[in-house]
């Protein structure tokens, strides 16, 4: 070890730091313990996964709504404590997700706002360089880190913990993959990886070869399903019903029988009318007045067509469109739509894939999948996870007879089998990253210290950048 004097929150003090190659800069005093918060109910699976993730590069596959962000916040906080000069980075693929996660993590572990920064590409590179040097904990889009690793000389070496949200995106040339490649190319390999996903891939090959294991240096797997013994007590019931839409003239008669729609408006697929009828029935039978529905579409054009039709059913159905920024929608607009949905100013959210991943949209009673485009269970798992978080929920899947109906069956088979196949795969175990860095001195075993974390409300204008 070596003795160094460094500043911590403005106060200089002598801290004994490790000088071992794999744990250089580790605070030997703080590292006697690792902190676990008691301000949230303690769940054994979260505690056990967190403990493992502190020691190994870990892929956490946990159903939506069961606390992946909680695990990330605790891991980040402990590396923040252990490495007083290290950088802790949480990456998410979209700006709204970054903004959401910075708030969520603060509300769990209260890492000081003064050492935290949000970087999503809105600041000039020169300005970001100063922020990287001054701050300690970062919430970023991966493209920002990918770009700045080349421009901030000491950044790569100082990184001690990297969190990858929506880690199933780490394929091919995705920025997640490029971040890891740049770090390794420059000789930086002593950092912890925590990869988070509701489902890491469509099959074993996705996980072992293409997705997170190889691309994100994963050496340990923590997989849970809703049926896992330690997770099941926290899962609310969720029904799944398939609605087969027949492609004939009968459904088209609904247009004249139930709705008064201007004759010059034409809707190209009978699914739109089936969707309208299902939502009408749902809201008419709903007694609390607080029900929320989310409808997922593969195509933007289908969203807009459904929105036009459902507007005719106001005020029973109050639809809003939720599209990605690639469709010309601003982040401000996106967050406004989510806020209106959570606060009850609309009761039906019509979304493309932007609504699948991570964003906190509040409680949803009914999920409708308007179409199924492929056999991968990724989207199905994420969409279903939007309901049944804190109360019982339902999922309806609209499929046409024939090919789409068979695609859904295949998708559900993949969904039910992938976790069992992955965990039992010797092929996958043989592909785990063999050079997991310890990051904790060999003669030190941190003991768990459970502490109630007091989270102070942030001022309306804080120091986040």
C-alpha–C-alpha distance, residues 392 and 387, integer Å: 7
Give, rounded to a whole angstrom, the gap between the first and last alpha carbons of the chain: 35
C-alpha–C-alpha distance, residues 143 and 154, integer Å: 18
Whole-number Cα distances in Å, 229 to 45, 234, 314, 386, 424: 9, 10, 44, 21, 17
Per-residue pLDDT at 290: 86
Domains parsed from the chain with CATH numbers: 17-219+432-451 (3.40.50.300), 236-253+268-418 (3.40.50.300)
Per-residue pLDDT at 465: 42
Bridge partners, residue 337, by sequence: none
pTM listed for this prediction: 0.80
* SS3 label, residue 168: helix
Nearest alpha carbon to residue 351 among 387, 314, 315, 324: 324
C-alpha–C-alpha distance, residues 142 and 125, integer Å: 14
C-alpha–C-alpha distance, residues 156 and 62, integer Å: 29
Low-confidence ranges of the chain (pLDDT < 50): 1-12, 208-210, 250-252, 254-255, 258-259, 263, 388, 461-465
Phi, psi at 192, each rounded to 5° = -90, 140
Give, as one character, the DSSP assignment of residue 325: G
Bridge partners, residue 220, by sequence: 58
Two tokens, residue 322: 């939720």
Whole-number Cα distances in Å, 301 to 288, 307, 346: 32, 10, 21
User: Is residue 84 within 8 Å of residue 8, measured between CB atoms?
Assistant: yes
Two tokens, residue 354: 């932007």
Peptide bond connecting 250 to the previous residue in cis, omega within 30 degrees of 0: no
Per-residue pLDDT at 408: 75
* SS3 label, residue 40: coil
C-alpha–C-alpha distance, residues 158 and 143, integer Å: 18
C-alpha–C-alpha distance, residues 244 and 396, integer Å: 10
User: Is residue 86 within 8 Å of residue 158, measured between CB atoms?
Assistant: yes
C-alpha–C-alpha distance, residues 380 and 382, integer Å: 6
Per-residue pLDDT at 134: 94
User: Is residue 95 within 8 Å of residue 331, measured between CB atoms?
Assistant: yes
Per-residue pLDDT at 233: 86
Per-residue pLDDT at 15: 84
Per-residue pLDDT at 457: 79
Helix, strand and coil percent figures for the chain, each rounded to 5: 40, 20, 40
Two tokens, residue 462: 């804080």
Two tokens, residue 263: 């004759």
């Amino acid at each position: 070890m070596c003795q160094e004097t460094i500043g911590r929150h403005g106060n200089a003090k002598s801290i004994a730091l490790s000088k071992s190659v794999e744990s250089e800069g580790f605070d030997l005093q703080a590292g006697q313990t690792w902190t676990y918060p008691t301000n949230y109910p303690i769940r054994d699976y979260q505690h056990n996964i967190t403990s493992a993730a502190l020691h190994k590069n870990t892929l956490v596959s946990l159903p939506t709504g069961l606390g992946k962000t909680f695990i990330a916040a605790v891991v980040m906080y402990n590396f923040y404590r252990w490495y007083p000069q290290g950088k802790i980075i949480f990456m998410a693929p979209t700006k709204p997700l970054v903004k959401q996660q910075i708030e969520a993590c603060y509300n769990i572990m209260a890492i000081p706002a003064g050492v935290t920064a949000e970087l999503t590409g809105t600041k000039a590179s020169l300005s970001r360089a100063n922020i990287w040097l001054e701050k300690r904990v970062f919430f970023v889009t991966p493209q920002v880190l990918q770009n700045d690793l080349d421009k901030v000389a000491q950044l790569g070496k100082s990184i001690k913990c990297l969190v990858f949200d929506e880690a199933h995106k780490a394929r091919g040339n995705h920025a997640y993959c490029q971040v890891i490649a740049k770090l390794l190319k420059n000789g930086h390999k002593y950092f912890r990886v925590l990869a988070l996903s509701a489902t890491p891939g469509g099959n074993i090959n996705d996980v072992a070869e293409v997705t997170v294991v190889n691309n994100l240096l994963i050496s340990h797997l923590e997989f849970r399903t809703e049926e896992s013994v330690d997770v099941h007590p926290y899962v609310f019931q969720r029904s799944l019903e398939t609605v087969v839409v027949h492609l004939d003239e009968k459904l088209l008669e609904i247009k004249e029988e139930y709705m008064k729609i201007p004759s010059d408006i034409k809707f190209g697929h009978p699914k739109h009318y089936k969707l309208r009828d299902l939502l009408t029935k749902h809201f008419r039978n709903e007694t609390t007045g607080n029900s929320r529905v989310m409808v997922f579409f593969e195509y933007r054009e289908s969203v807009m067509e459904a929105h036009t039709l459902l507007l005719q059913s106001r005020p029973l159905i109050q639809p809003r469109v939720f599209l990605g920024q690639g469709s010309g929608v601003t982040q401000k607009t996106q967050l406004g739509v989510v806020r209106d949905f959570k606060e009850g100013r609309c009761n039906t959210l019509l979304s493309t894939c932007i609504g699948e991943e991570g964003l906190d949209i509040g409680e949803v009673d009914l999920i409708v999948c308007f179409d199924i485009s492929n056999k991968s269970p990724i989207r199905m798992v994420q969409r279903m996870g939007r309901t049944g978080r804190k109360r019982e929920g339902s999922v309806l899947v609209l499929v046409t007879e024939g090919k789409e109906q068979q695609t859904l069956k295949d998708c559900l088979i993949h969904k039910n089998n992938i976790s069992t196949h992955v965990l039992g795969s010797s092929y996958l175990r043989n592909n785990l990253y063999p050079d997991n860095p310890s990051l904790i001195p060999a003669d030190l075993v941190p003991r768990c210290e459970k502490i109630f974390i007091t989270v102070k409300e942030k001022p309306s204008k804080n120091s986040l950048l």
